[in-house]
Structure 1
Amino acid sequence: MSDTIFGKIVNGDIPTEFVYEDEHCVAINDIHPQAPVHVLVIPRKAIEKLSDAQDDDQALLGHLMLAAGKVARQLGVDDAFRLIVNNGGGAGQTVFHLHLHILAGSTLAESRMLG
């Protein structure tokens, strides 16, 4: 497993309250939220960034999208949320363990930022 902070969270080395979890991923609140709702969906499998995913990761990548929808429904924001994946440092990725950002809330309607 990855030695990043997300790898440690997924492994249970860093106790964290999960917003959602299943056999393939976990979801946690972002510690530096950029919107009223800011949740990270993190696969249990360590993939450094999206461009490192392989053909055999296709089902996992689809699962992450479905999990993001489940989390959004669970949080009551499924009618309007933004889903962001940063790929690489130049795109703003700071933890090199693939993860999806779910952002939602009143500020999104005012913001045209694509993250």
Structure 2
Amino acid sequence: MSNETIFDKIINKEIPADILYEDEISLAFKDIAPQAPFHCLIIPKKRIATINDIQAEDREVVGHLYTVAAKLAAEHGFAEDGYRVLMNCNKHAGQVVFHIHLHMLAGKPLGPIVSQ
């Protein structure tokens, strides 16, 4: 596939990552520039560039990312206190790698997201 991303290389084990979870659909690994005490990325193994590129047949894959988030929250002990998951779409939102991914942040109070 053209336009290989760093995530493709992580999926293919061509470059190392601190992997927290893996199954046939997804992979979760620690973010290399954490924004919270716990910060991981949950990615589908199927490359989908942006939220805008998600198709109806991708519903199960995208939904699966959230079930992985819930599983990681329970395993790491912050399901009850809370955590944040978010997905950026395109450059104005801060998307750097064009392969959809959930950022999962936890381990401290994150505060509300407030509009200005």
Normalising to structure 1: TM-score of the pair?
A: 0.90
Match of 1:73 in 2: 74
What is residue 85 of structure 2 aligned with on the other side? Answer: 83
Percentage of identical aligned residues:
46
Say if 2:112 is the partner of 1:112.
yes
Following TM superposition, by how much is the alpha carbon of 1:106 offset from its aligned partner in structure 2, in angstroms?
Answer: 1.7
- Equivalences for 1:55-70 in 2 at 5 Å? 55-70=56-71
In the TM superposition, residue 75 of structure 1 has moved relative to its aligned partner by 1.2
Deviations 1:4-37 (A, max 9, x none): 1111101111122310111100100000001111
Runs of 4+ in 1 over 6 A off after TM superposition: none
Which structure 1 residue ranges, 5 or more long, are not aligned?
none
Name the counterpart of 2:104. Answer: 102
Contact 1:36 1:107 in 2 (8 A): no
Using structure 2 for the length normalisation, give the TM-score. Answer: 0.89
The count of aligned residue pairs is 112
User: 2:55 aligns to what?
Assistant: 54
Higher share of residues assigned helix: 1
The residue type paired with residue 35 of structure 2 is Q
Q: CA RMSD in A?
A: 1.4
Q: Distance in 2 between matches of 1:51 and 1:75?
A: 31
Aligned equivalents of 1:54, 1:33: Cα separation in 2: 30
Separation in 2, partners of 1:103, 1:57: 24
Could you tell me whether the CA contact under 8 Å between 1:35 and 1:107 is conserved in 2? no
Q: Once the 2 structures are TM-superposed, how far is the Cα of residue 76 of structure 1 from its aligned partner?
A: 1.1
